[in-house]
């Protein structure tokens, strides 16, 4: 009898050792069976644009190049359509980029759609705090507008084409439009297809004098802003990343040249356009004016000031939030409250010291739109400079406020893995025991 106890004991020892190794592998994340969100792949600058009766576009940026996709459906529990990045759809291969641009097509008009978007090598899916985001497509309008387009080029600081950048175009009272910059630096949007904020009709504007706000996002390569009138948007003068332009000035060659070399920003921009900075002057450009309406519960407050200046930011709402921020070397600053703000009117106060060492304050009121779909049926993060997202893949990952930008990964329960590993090792141990018995 004793001769049969040796392999049984060895089998148990092997099983226990393997279980210990398996637990260590899972806890040390060397056994990557579950996708986990990582800060470098967390979606930022998420926007929904170009809503029509047949489609819409979801775009975002990540700190590092990775893949991106969008899953949609007519019900929250059945997201049965998957759409890849426009570049992937065109090439037939899956590529990685810091900018992500997914156009959903062939959907039904005046219909509510639910969606989540995936980012990162593990295809972690991000939603709206446990529920998919919603977007409503536009209804069919019988009378089509005359064709009208805005187009131009985007280049980097060295004058090279900024392929892969995303251009956002905003007409007053309209749903934003967007375009993915081509490899040669060209971009174009069909202004005439822009819908009103309520999606009931096409936006109306003066073909010569309406102001257009332009924002360019290019990930780590930088961003740019521009303001131009419709009479000078075909083409829009070249936009250089890292600069802000106001092309509304008289278009003489001398003036235009001065505008490019010394770009002038506008505080009326809906894309948080930076404004010129005077000595020891602090500005607030988002919100740009009193009673501005924001659709993000955690809006990114932005402005400009003297580099190195320390600012105190206070948001007065049912809960008061206070923080400090230092103006960056490029003269810009931004701050996001640590938690979501309730719908209604709020006040932001910026405190700083002027050249004489006297404390100065800048105060502005703003209104947070009610939760749920924003104006025009767009999700609440549309105007947010950095969407707050929660992955739906296992493990569930809940992101903190956009001020930190660091996700907290969920905990992967190793029970199933251990059961499978243990069962396999037990079977192996039993087979080894039988073989050992036959040998003896």
396-428 pLDDT, tens digit per residue, is: 223 333 333 333 333 334 445 555 666 665 666
Q: Would 35-140+385-411 and 283-368 be classified into the same CATH topology?
A: yes
What pLDDT is stored for residue 405 in this prediction? 37
Mean pLDDT across the chain, nearest whole number?
75
Q: What is the CATH number of domain 142-268?
A: 2.60.40.10
In the predicted model, is pLDDT for residue 307 greater than 70?
A: yes
In the predicted model, is pLDDT for residue 88 greater than 80?
A: yes
Tell me if residue 380 falls in helix, strand or coil.
Answer: coil
154-166 pLDDT, tens digit per residue, is: 999 999 999 999 9
Span 429-438, mean pLDDT?
A: 53
What pLDDT is stored for residue 194 in this prediction? 94
In the predicted model, is pLDDT for residue 370 greater than 50?
A: no
Burial string for 123-134 (b: 16+ CB within 10 Å, else e) reads ebbbbbeeebbb
94-147 pLDDT, tens digit per residue, is: 999 999 999 999 999 999 999 998 887 767 888 887 889 899 999 999 888 888
Burial label, 437 (beta-carbon count in 10 A; 0-12, 13-18, 19+) = exposed
What pLDDT is stored for residue 41 in this prediction? 84
Span 253-270, mean pLDDT?
A: 38
In the predicted model, is pLDDT for residue 431 greater than 70?
A: no
What pLDDT is stored for residue 131 in this prediction? 86
CATH architecture of 35-140+385-411: Sandwich (2.60)
SS3 content of the chain, % helix, strand, coil (to 5): 20, 35, 45
In the predicted model, is pLDDT for residue 66 greater than 50?
A: yes
Segments making up each domain of the chain, as ranges: 2-33+415-439, 35-140+385-411, 142-268, 283-368
Output DSSP code: residue 355: T
What pLDDT is stored for residue 228 in this prediction? 94
30-39 pLDDT, tens digit per residue, is: 444 444 557 7
In the predicted model, is pLDDT for residue 299 greater than 60?
A: yes
In the predicted model, is pLDDT for residue 76 greater than 50?
A: yes
pTM of the model: 0.56
Q: Report the C-alpha gap between 99 and 147 in whole angstroms.
A: 29
Q: Quickly state the pLDDT bin for 367 (edges 50, 70, 90).
A: confident
Structure-token pair, residue 255: 């003036």
Distance linking the first and last C-alpha atoms of the chain? 12
Q: Report the C-alpha gap between 132 and 392 in whole angstroms.
A: 9
CATH architecture of 283-368: Sandwich (2.60)
What pLDDT is stored for residue 313 in this prediction? 92
β-sheet bridge partners, residue 236: 152
Q: Are strands 177-180 and 283-286 parallel, antiparallel or unpaired?
A: unpaired
- Which of 129-138, 264-273, 310-319, 326-335 is the least confident region? 264-273
In the predicted model, is pLDDT for residue 170 greater than 50?
A: yes
- Which of 84-98, 180-194, 365-379 is the least confident region? 365-379
What pLDDT is stored for residue 126 in this prediction? 85
What pLDDT is stored for residue 193 in this prediction? 92
Cα atoms in the Cβ-side hemisphere of radius 13 Å centred on 69: 21
In the predicted model, is pLDDT for residue 329 greater than 70?
A: yes
Q: Quickly state the pLDDT bin for 300 (edges 50, 70, 90).
A: confident
What pLDDT is stored for residue 429 in this prediction? 57
């Amino acid at each position: 009898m004793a001769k049969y106890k040796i392999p049984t004991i060895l089998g148990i020892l092997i099983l226990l050792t393997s279980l210990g190794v398996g637990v260590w592998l899972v806890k040390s994340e060397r056994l990557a069976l579950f996708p986990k969100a990582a800060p470098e792949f967390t979606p930022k600058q998420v926007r929904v644009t170009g809503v029509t009766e047949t489609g819409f576009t979801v775009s975002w940026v990540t700190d590092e190049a990775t893949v991106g996709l969008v899953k949609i459906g007519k019900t929250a529990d059945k997201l049965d359509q998957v759409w890849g990045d426009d570049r992937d759809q065109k090439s037939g291969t899956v590529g990685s980029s810091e900018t992500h641009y997914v156009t959903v097509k062939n959907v039904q008009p005046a219909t509510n759609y639910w969606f989540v978007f995936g980012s990162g090598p593990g295809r972690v899916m991000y939603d709206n705090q446990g529920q998919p985001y919603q977007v409503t497509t536009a209804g069919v309008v019988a009378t089509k507008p005359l064709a009208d387009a805005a187009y131009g080029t985007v280049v980097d600081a060295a004058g090279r084409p900024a392929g892969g950048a995303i251009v956002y175009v905003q007409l007053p009272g309209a749903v934003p439009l967007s375009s993915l910059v081509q490899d040669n630096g060209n971009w174009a949007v069909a202004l005439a297809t822009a819908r009103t904020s309520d999606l009931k009709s096409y936006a109306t504007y003066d073909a010569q004098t309406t102001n257009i706000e332009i924002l360019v996002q290019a990930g780590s390569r930088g961003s740019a802003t521009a303001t131009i009138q419709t009479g000078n948007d075909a083409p829009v003068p070249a936009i250089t990343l890292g600069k802000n332009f106001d092309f509304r000035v008289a278009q003489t060659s001398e003036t235009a040249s001065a505008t490019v070399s010394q770009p002038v920003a506008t505080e009326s921009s809906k894309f948080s356009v930076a404004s010129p900075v005077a000595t020891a002057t602090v500005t607030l450009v988002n919100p740009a004016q009193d009673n501005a309406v924001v659709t993000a519960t955690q809006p990114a407050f932005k402005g400009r000031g003297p580099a190195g200046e320390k600012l105190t930011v206070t948001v007065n709402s049912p809960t008061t939030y206070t923080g400090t921020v230092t103006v960056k070397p490029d003269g810009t600053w931004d701050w996001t409250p640590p938690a979501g703000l309730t719908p209604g009117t709020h006040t932001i106060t910026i405190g700083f010291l002027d050249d004489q060492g006297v404390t100065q304050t800048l105060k502005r009121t703003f209104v947070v739109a009610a939760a749920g779909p924003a104006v025009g049926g767009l999700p609440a993060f549309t105007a947010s400079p950095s969407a707050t997202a929660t992955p739906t893949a296992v493990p569930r990952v809940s992101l903190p406020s956009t001020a930190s930008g660091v996700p907290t990964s969920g905990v992967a329960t190793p029970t199933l893995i251990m059961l499978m590993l243990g069962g396999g090792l037990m079977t192996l141990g039993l087979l080894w025991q039988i073989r050992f018995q036959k040998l003896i």
